[in-house]
Amino acid sequence: MALRMMGATYQQIADAMNTAGVATPGGGPQWYPSYAYRQLRTREAGFGADDFVALDRRRRAAPPIG
């Protein structure tokens, strides 16, 4: 979530998870952008729709990373 709030793309988040050696929710070794997207969008992650509206507004206003 912190990476996304800083403006990282889902690809950048997946790359960071792969570099860190974090297993996917299903136990697999390879993260893809769609996995990062789904993981961040689920209620199990503890975020509601209102959180993502605010997050998207901040992301659009922030300069891109890298």
The answer to whether 52 touches 46, Cβ cutoff 8 Å, is no
- pTM for this model (two decimals): 0.60
CA distances from 38 to 1, 42, 43, 56, 61 (A): 12, 6, 10, 15, 23
Per-residue pLDDT of the chain (66 residues; tens, 9 = 90+): 678 778 889 999 899 989 999 988 888 999 999 998 888 887 555 655 555 555 555 555 555 665
Query: Scanning the structure block, which residue is given the tokens 């793309």?
Result: 9
